[in-house]
Structure 1
Amino acid sequence: MTDLPQWADLLISFFLVLGSSFAFIGSLGLLRLPDFMARLHAPTKNTTLGVGSVIIASMLYFSVTDSLSLHELLIAIFLFLTAPISAHLLAKAGLHLELEMTENTRDLRKKPEQYSDKDH
């Protein structure tokens, strides 16, 4: 087992705790939020940040113990490119299917003129 310098140990631990906290909050939001659009928001934002933080921790660990590790960078790029695209596609499908929303969720389709940039 390799002993890490204290600065690396603290930094890696920080990113692991940060990542697991974001992932937990995103999972909790997926469980607790009331409708599809709200549930879609929690995992796409928080879990992406959580996995990103864990990947940074992994890059730091393998860079300190062995040599510069950039394999995880490919995972991060793939994650940050695909998560917003899949969330957008899911949101469009939810709008197309006219899924039921709670009254607290804003539906911009009800009064489109209210959110328009055109002068009245």
Structure 2
Amino acid sequence: MMRLVDFLGLLSYCLFIYGLSDQASLSAPMWFDHQDKIYHAGAYFVMALLAWRCLRHWLNVPIILALLSVTLCSLYGISDEWHQSFVDGRSADIADWMADTAGAGLAMFGLSRLGKRNRTA
């Protein structure tokens, strides 16, 4: 049952991001340049955690689990940027994809640090 719940959580989040990407423009307050990269990293940080939760039911090798989570998020980020290239008012941006991948990587780095801390405690 938890496998299904975790999968549906990840799928729902991916659909949420797709819905945001399908909008012609998003209005968010901008206080500094490249602030949108923080939004991208934050969104894919969450996606990586959801991917990790979903994949952990099938994988128990931490490094493989982390790398696969980041890879899946990065691939979704590429597909999201490609999708945006077809949306009026939007464009594909490699820097956005890099921020997506960095956010996913930070999530897995954070999980690895928590795992190490819990093993030594």
TM-score for the superposition, normalised by structure 2:
0.41
**Structure with the larger RCO, 1 or 2 (CA within 8 Å, 6+ apart):** 2
- Greater Rg, structure 1 or structure 2? 1
TM-score for the superposition, normalised by structure 1:
0.41
